[in-house]
A and B are shown apart, each in its own frame.
Chain A
């Protein structure tokens, strides 16, 4: 028998009341490490190149690069912890929620019965820190609809398995 009882709006589960799961602490290290590596290369080129005479630039240029690196690092050091703290995901019975953004904040909700496929990826620096990214696809977005960066590798795999299973169940019942 098909039933379709009216559900009062107030009784609907709310996206506001979920408890957000933080992403891995080591993602902060990965984030900063990525910037540090890039800046180190820039410094190496600037100072090393000048010292070896490969680059024929005025002496102020390496100093400028160093100054920029210091400012960049300062901004990253302040911004990254904020960025990491504002990221979080929540797994509910019927959907996956993700929030991201410090100034411009975004809440993304994907119902399991709309998920097309799920994958985990991990780049070089991510692997170094034992992290992975979960990417969820629906028929709506172009490319990945949802990318959760900074998950511990086994956590990401568990999450992928769970989402896959839930998506499959949702399809069968639907």
Chain B
């Protein structure tokens, strides 16, 4: 036993070599050019025959890959002690990470089918300091990750009661809040933006695909096309609409499949301190987050979700502003009954009286001047468009109609947005509603605010209005166009809440 191991330093499972192989391949793919050119140069300079060269190249790459992966595994050590998790890693450049328990906001584990066979998990830690997951333990025993969760929870209890915790892991998962059915998976697939993203990714490739597939389609569907030409315009339109629908359905299908893969068997539970979700078809994803680390709770309902009478919730943690993917705790689909319980679940006592229903009656509207100001703004856009049209010799009547059309077309949307804006307050928390097609709520505890901005444009000043911004560690919550005196009172109140709070915000 090496001295390091004697002090509680552990290695990850040898299976983590698989993970490292994947990591290296991903890295190589990213820097393909840089990695391939020197290797090819070496092979060519040794003067082998073409066939040997290829085999040699492939062999050398494979050996290098395995050597590096094994090397990374050998050099990776971690230790879990009283203060936190320590990680030592890196072959040439040694890296030492010490992550204190109090800095850990969330624990994410994934378990693919191979890992499941051996009772292993891949564990990532969320901390506030980094844009991506900071601590990463590839392939560690599942019970170890369980103990780690226990550690994080127990430490909280320690600081609350001043009683030292015991060593064994408490597998107490607490209360189950939510369990999603296969039907819910379909709903998640249909309402997620995944299908749209896929479309956006495929769109640039469409031309290329079209060029290649064109001749083939011609041969195969040529006769069909001939028949189509004979059809009436109405039928042709029908065919066009039908093919768009088919494409949309294929995308939806992929999205639903994605939802099954990611969330199948989704359950959500809490023990009052930590909220925890688990789901996934092949690879199980498990995510837990300390509820004390929550900064902003977002509740979203788009038109489709509204049709299903469901909501999507995102609990946002503190993150550096660069990229905060993976820093938020996602609840992909939740019924209204869950949303009603959400204040108590996420904000505990401080969430009392907080109403997170979209049509809750506690929302104070913003000023009606918002509509006028925005319509004027779009009127300005219209005027510019009209002038541009005049400049390219379009008849003035057409230009005038265009200039008027812009604000007229924008007006219903502005009106809708105005109607959706709203702010509701309780003694400890606030919730802001906004949206155009759907609705989004942002709920937060007043004491977690980092900074308050009161902004006033000249137009707003004339009417005694301001825009209020609450800057939190996860995101900024904006309340536009509210009465100046009300906003300043609110600013005072939030500052008072923050400054008199003796609780940690992180």
Contacts and interface: CB of A to CB of B under 8 A. Distances in A.
Interface stretch (B12-20, B182-190, B389-397, B469-477): B469-477
A104 B320 CA distance: 28
Contacts of A139: 128, 318, 450, 473, 505-506
B466 to A, nearest CB: 9
Contact of A15 (B476, B491, B505): B491
B498 interface: yes
Given A9-B493, A14-B492, A105 B450 contact: no
A16 B471 CA distance: 20
A106 interface: yes
B496 interface: yes
A95 B493 contact: no
Interface string B286-325: 0000000000000000000000000000000010111000
Interface in A98-115: 101, 103-114
A147 B453 CA distance: 13
A13 B455 CA distance: 20
B499 A95 contact: yes
A107 B453 contact: yes
B355 to A, nearest CB: 21
A140 B471 contact: yes
Q: For the side of the interface on B, what is the size category?
A: 35 or more
Interface residues of A, number: 32
Given A103-B458, A104-B458, A114-B451, A142 B488 contact: no
A145 B321 CA distance: 12
A170 B502 CA distance: 9
Contacts of A110: 450-451
Contact of A106 (B454, B458, B472): B454
A106 B473 contact: no
A173 B504 CA distance: 10
B495 interface: yes
Contact of A174 (B451, B472, B501): B501
B496 A12 contact: yes
A14 B128 CA distance: 32
B201 interface: no
A101 B455 CA distance: 9
A106 B469 CA distance: 10
Interface in A115-145: 138-142, 145
A146 to B, nearest CB: 8
A146 B451 CA distance: 9
Nearest to B319: A139
Nearest to A14: B492
Chain B interface, >50% SS class: mixed
Contacts of B473: 138-140
Interface string B480-506: 000000001101110110110111111
Nearest to B504: A174
A162 interface: no
A117 B502 CA distance: 19
A54 interface: no
Looking at B451, B455, B489, B496, the one whose CB has the most chain A CB atoms below 10 A away is: B451
Given A145-B471, A174-B504, A108 B453 contact: yes
Given A138-B471, A139-B318, A140-B450, A114 B506 contact: no
A85 interface: no
A14 B318 CA distance: 29
Contact of A140 (B451, B461, B495): B451
A174 B503 contact: yes
Given A108-B451, A109-B451, A174-B503, A15 B493 contact: no
9 contacts: A12-B492, A12-B496, A16-B488, A94-B499, A105-B461, A108-B452, A138-B451, A141-B450, A174-B503
Interface of B: 128, 318, 320-322, 449-458, 461, 471-473, 476, 488-489, 491-493, 495-496, 498-499, 501-506
Given A139-B473, A140-B450, 16 more contacts: A9-B489, A14-B489, A15-B492, A94-B499, A95-B499, A104-B455, A108-B451, A108-B452, A109-B452, A111-B495, A113-B498, A138-B471, A139-B450, A141-B321, A142-B321, A174-B503
Interface pairs A-B: 10 shortest CB-CB? A140-B450, A140-B471, A142-B321, A94-B499, A107-B454, A139-B473, A138-B450, A111-B498, A109-B452, A12-B492
